[in-house]
Amino acid sequence: MGLKGSLAELPLTALIEMTSLGGKSGRLTLFDEEGAVCGELAFRDGRLVGAVCGELGAEKAFYALLALKEGAFDFDPAAELDDESCSLPTESLLMEGMRRLDELRRLRHELPAPARVRLLGGEAQDELETRVLGGLGPRARLLGDLVEGLLVGGDADEHDALKTLQRLAARGVVRVETPQGFAEAEHGDPSEAPQPELER
């Protein structure tokens, strides 16, 4: 028998724990607040065997979907599962996903979307850094725009993009210029809000 409901009433983390501890098999489809499908998780005997969220690979898709707080879900234990794209222990994925979410909140506070990123000079050390530097010209760019560009056509998520910018800033390759008074002007905790440019 399937299970449907609201993510506000039964959080995704609790659903995943139930599926893992119960050794369940099936497909969990996730919907946003407007009812559009935003991703799927496939389980076999409690293990994650597939995850879909945009162009992200299975593990990154799982982490991205963990951030969902609103919307709905539909777990179908009778669904025919596609070929397994992964076979990962759900509990360890969940622990890593929660750690990444905590870190993402801190990164959003440190690197807000309205900040501007200016190239100072230096070399990239990996592919994501190369893409960031390739997107920077002689003028400063909005941090949110840079992050959004990194999410297109690759296996990077918001966490990866912000960590890349943090590394480049720490090495003095770029400077992040946060608008004066930005933090004080925010209502509530700015670390809870997603990058404005990344809202779908």
The answer for residues whose C-beta is within 8 angstroms of residue 64's C-beta and 6 or more apart is 39, 53, 54, 56, 157, 158
The answer for residues whose C-beta is within 8 angstroms of residue 177's C-beta and 6 or more apart is 115, 116, 117, 118, 140
* Nearest-5° Cα angle at 139, 137 to 145: 75
Give the pLDDT confidence score for residue 1 in this predicted structure. Answer: 64
Give the pLDDT confidence score for residue 185 in this predicted structure. Answer: 47
Contact 104, 159 (CB under 8 A): yes
Element (H, E) at 65: helix 58-66
pTM score over 0.75 = yes
Residue-wise pLDDT tens for the chain (200 aa)? 688 999 999 999 999 999 999 999 999 999 999 999 999 999 999 999 999 998 888 899 999 999 899 999 999 999 988 777 788 888 899 999 999 999 999 999 999 999 999 999 999 999 999 999 998 888 899 999 999 988 877 778 899 999 999 999 999 999 999 987 655 444 444 444 444 434 43
Give the pLDDT confidence score for residue 199 in this predicted structure. Answer: 41
Residue corresponding to tokens 């943090």: 166
The answer for residues whose C-beta is within 8 angstroms of residue 15's C-beta and 6 or more apart is 28, 73, 75
* Burial zone of 84 (CB within 10 Å; 0-12 exposed, 13-18 middle, 19+ buried): middle
